[in-house]
Amino acid sequence: MASAIHTAIIPLLLYFAQICWCNQPSSTIKINYREKEKQVLDQILGPSSYDARIRPSGVNQTDGPAIVRVNLFVRSIATISDIKMEYSVQLTFREQWLDERLKFNDFGGKIKYLTLTEANRVWMPDLFFSNEKEGHFHNIIMPNVYIRIFPYGSVLYSIRISLTLSCPMNLKLYPLDRQVCSLRMASYGWTTDDLVFLWKEGDPVQVVKNLHLPRFTLEKFLTDYCNSKTNTGEYSCLKVDLLFKREFSYYLIQIYIPCCMLVIVSWVSFWLDQSAVPARVSLGVTTLLTMATQTSGINASLPPVSYTKAIDVWTGVCLTFVFGALLEFALVNYASRSDMHRDQMQKQRRQCELEHAASLEAAADLLQDGGTNFPMKPLVRSGDQTLEKMRQCKVHMQQPHRPNCCRSWLSKFPTRSKRIDVISRITFPLVFALFNLTYWSTYLFRDESDGE
């Protein structure tokens, strides 16, 4: 009996609950706007109302070109390669345009925008990167593509991509140079009669804070237009120029200071004795080979170009100084052997003069003893003439010379080989210091003018 009463009461309770729910005000009924979004998407993107193959109309639904505004967010710059003349960048690329076919009811502001992840559902501009070498999209964990459709028909397309772009470099001032690397975006098929790209107003390019590059510093960036004209029409193009300044401290430690040390080490041979042939030869050859290895290593990290770079001037002059120090020893060795030969000749000359003087004294003794006869008169005359010439030479050699500090200082070193070493000790450092003054003043000044 109780179970039968319970079975009859439950349907009555459900009936009265349904009546009470239907009599409630409509304002208390909750609406699922996510379901409304699906209905709106099916409505505006239906095959009967939208065709992604047709471009949007111009401003105010005219036949003018569709306007696409572009902005970039540079997330990172991985590498800048000098030898390949390229750089790698990761960026978030955004486009925004108006397609009035996509207008929809926002239900009083409840639907702020619609979201898509499939770019083929709507019309897309045919933009490409004209100086791209390689590129790829990011698909982890999901494809990094985002499309928003706003109630008034505006479409925002955002995607994260990584690109390797060509960067033609002028290395005349390397490594005291600045390089301008461009990022160019152009229309592939639509001419400016149908499609125009414009930079977004305000701040079209943003760069992540604390951007760190190993050998460069991003000084500034400039946006510009680069429309191109062909025989098929004019095509819209955008570009952003990134100005990079090369960090000089790395090259100062790795190239300039070691080269200076090698040049100074080659001067040590000037202070070694000219008879120390093995030491001076090994020192000169070792520094020359080390400098040549340093030069070849520098050139291996740079592309072959037809002009002379600043680093070529530096390494070439340093190599010349090291080679000059080795040639200086060859000259010293030759002068040393010449000095030895001259000393031997002077000894022989002195010996001959002593023998000749002894013969003259013997002839004079015979004259004083009264043993002179007619056949000996020519000998006496010739001896008198020889003595007179020797006196004239002595008088001529005893003429006073003008005082000269350099001659008096060099007179302290009797041999020519020693004089060459002493002169080289002063000449090589002075010329190298003069070269440094000219080099740094020239290239630093040119670097500033190029930067301006």
CA separation for the pair 246, 214 (Å, rounded)? 9
Our CA angle for 245, 249, 254, nearest 5°, is: 120
pTM to 2 decimal places: 0.72
CA separation for the pair 87, 186 (Å, rounded)? 19
Amino acid 49: pLDDT: 84
Q: In the numeric block, which tokens belong to residue 304?
A: 């072959």
pLDDT digits (tens, 9 = 90+) for 103-156: 988 888 888 889 888 888 899 999 999 999 999 999 888 889 999 999 999 999
Domains of the chain: 34-246 (2.70.170.10), 249-338+412-451 (1.20.58.390)
The answer to whether 124 and 157 have CB atoms below 8 angstroms apart is yes
pLDDT digits (tens, 9 = 90+) for 23-58: 445 444 567 767 888 888 888 888 888 888 899 988
Phi, then psi, of 411 in degrees rounded to 5: -65, -15
Longest CA pairwise span in the chain (Å): 192
pLDDT beneath 70: ranges in the chain: 1-30, 33, 339-348, 355-356, 362-414, 447-452
The strand pair at 195-199 and 66-81 is best described as parallel
Phi, then psi, of 49 in degrees rounded to 5: -115, -15
Q: How far is CA 131 from CA 44, 87, 92, 135, 178, in A?
A: 37, 11, 17, 11, 20
Average pLDDT over all residues of the chain: 81
| SS3 assignment, position 337 | helix
Distance of CA 385 to the CA centre of its chain: 80
CA separation for the pair 97, 152 (Å, rounded)? 11
Distance of CA 130 to the CA centre of its chain: 23
